[in-house]
Amino acid sequence: MKDSSFIARNWVDSLVKIPAFPDRCSQICSWVQEVYNAQKVLLFFHSEKRSRYTIRTTIRIHKSSFRRLDFHDEPFIYDRMQSDKPQKFEGLLTLKTWPWFREELKHNLRNAGMSWILPLWSGHECLGGLVIKMATPKKSVYSEALGKATTDFGHLLEIAFVKQLLLRDEWEMRVLLGVGKRISELKDLDSILKLMIDSIKEVIDYDAAGIFILRMPEKKIEYSTLRGFPGNLKNKVNLKVGKGIVGWAIENGKEVTVPDVRENKRYIMARRGTKSSIVVPIKFGGTVMGAFALESDKLHFFKYHDVELLRAFASQTAIVLENSKLLNASMQAVQLQTEIEIAAGIQKALLPKNIPKIKGYDIAAVNHSSLAVGGDLYDFIQISDHELGVAIGDVSGKGIPGAILMASLYSTFRGLYRKSGPPGNVIKELNESIYNHTEADKFATFFYGVLNYSNDSFTYSNAGHNPPILLKSNGETRTLSKGGSLLGFIIGKNYLSETINMRPGDVLFLYTDGVSETFNPKNQEFGEDRIIECLKQYINHSSKQIIDNVLAKIKNFSKKSYQDDDITIVVVKKE
């Protein structure tokens, strides 16, 4: 007879062959239903920002129940960066013994007959779980196998979820770039605004949308471009500054997200069926010019990511509106500005939003873009409960080409770091991908290391990047150059790795060439020696203070009010 470990391995092997995140969720639900002879199954999983949970897949649960079974306010149980770890419950639990859900949610789950939970873990993070309606479960080899497989299920769902987000981000970037390119082909403002609102539909599945323009000095809100609203809307609703959600957003210059319009007093009912809405103002140089409004027939439909995306469209639209009177005469200038805005948006979106907080280490980072948007990037990745990935890179090219290559490098790296193992293997796979999928004149430098803070070791591989500087507490210095050639230059080469140890007081300084290749009026280069001198001077300061002092030294050295190149710095200090 097959034992539980054999069954669990077979399930995991089968799940690996299913690439899509929704399909993996459905398959896990099917197994749970079959093993427990369940009448209902609900799979919940964390959100994109890992701040809360949301329903992903259900079996035999009517959609009318979704509002009562609302997971939107349920916070994410554990963040790896925090020190206090929750008790890890493995296997099937009763809803009564599950310690974290709000009582209101538990009450609604019980009313739906659901009283069992099978959590999905990754380390000490509860990534999600399955809520089940069934009779008292009978122990069997299959139920035992489910208990063993849930950690692998959580890990495989996480991989598919990240891949889904990367594919989505790549598609959204292509849509944004396509809009920027097509603007130059259109002659009138009306056509451009129609392009905008229809392009949004490609990335945000709204049920109704509108672009509303503020006419000055009379402060009148005009219906410019509409989709999904009734034809008589202009006669039915008279929008005014400060009135309704759109009017309030325009008056205050602030974004508005309404998960349930029935609970918002400002919402003006313009169409039947609308359940949720978002409004993002169109601003240029701090001046509000109008607003985008999207509506959905589903509750809690719009996420924070949708607001970020709509903000990018609003930025493009603001540029178009500002230049509409001179559109025909200055199209090249508009296109150039649009490209810079898009490239800057891509660069900003890919950089980490938060700096990791790890006990025993002080970490800081900064990215200062030059006037011509380039392709610097840095990243932090939590690999395990005791390992942090640290990466920094610089791609060839400026503007849109540089931003595209940077986005490609970022997404490829994010897809490889888990499955490719040590830094040298990751860099090798990354080089193969960049070489095969970019033009001959496109290349990138890249440095990737893994900080193991359980034993204070740092394993790295360097692909032609400026060698990071390790300043020891005793004043000794060394550079981390072990690795190989830059990415996209030659194929089939192995990349070496090296492991160093971090001792209290040691400072690891990662940087791009915008730091070392800053020139002064005498055409002298700032160089590596001046960086080391500065590090020795401020070795007893915090990581952020070290960065601030280096930037001040660079500015004083160059005697310029602007940068010739992007400057990116990451400092890791052992406390």
* One-letter identity of residue 150: T
Q: What gap in Å lies between CA 105 and CA 114, rounded to an integer?
A: 11
DSSP per position, 80-116 = TTSSPPPP---S-EETTT--SS-HHHHHHHHHTT--E
Q: What is the CATH T-level fold of the domain 4-165, as seen in this structure?
A: Beta-Lactamase (3.30.450)
Q: What gap in Å lies between CA 487 and CA 471, rounded to an integer?
A: 27
Burial class (CB in 10 A: 0-12, 13-18, 19+), 204: buried
How far CA 436 is from CA of 423, 446, 465, 489, 510, in Å, comes to 20, 17, 20, 10, 28
Beta-ladder partners of 126:
121
- The predicted structure's pLDDT at residue 466: 94
Q: What gap in Å lies between CA 8 and CA 143, rounded to an integer?
A: 10
Q: What gap in Å lies between CA 314 and CA 279, rounded to an integer?
A: 10
Closest CA to 24 of 36, 16, 35: 16
In the chain, CATH 3.30.450.40 covers 4-165, 187-343
Q: What gap in Å lies between CA 449 and CA 458, rounded to an integer?
A: 6
Architecture of domain 351-574: 4-Layer Sandwich (3.60)
- The predicted structure's pLDDT at residue 342: 60
Give me the residues of the chain with pLDDT under 70, please: 1, 64, 66-67, 73, 78-90, 183-184, 187, 232-238, 323-350, 370-374, 397-404, 418-420, 440-441, 561-564
Q: What gap in Å lies between CA 557 and CA 571, rounded to an integer?
A: 21
Read off φ and ψ for residue 226, nearest 5 degrees.
-125, 150
Closest CA to 378 of 392, 390, 367, 397: 392
Residues 531/467, Cβ–Cβ less than 8 Å = no
**Would you say the pTM of this structure is higher than 0.85?**
no
How many other β-carbons are positioned within 10 Å of the β-carbon of residue 473? Answer: 14
Collapsing DSSP states into helix, strand and coil, what is residue 426? helix
Q: What gap in Å lies between CA 492 and CA 432, rounded to an integer?
A: 7
How, if at all, do strands 457-463 and 444-452 pair? Answer: antiparallel
Question: What is the Cα gyration radius of the chain?
Answer: 27
Residues 6+ apart with CB under 8 A from 367: 347, 351, 376, 377, 378, 566, 567, 568
In the chain, CATH 3.60.40.10 covers 351-574
Give CATH for domain 187-343: 3.30.450.40
Q: What gap in Å lies between CA 24 and CA 7, rounded to an integer?
A: 17
Closest CA to 442 of 481, 405, 497: 405
Residues 279/292, Cβ–Cβ less than 8 Å = yes
Residues 6+ apart with CB under 8 A from 283: 253, 289, 314, 318
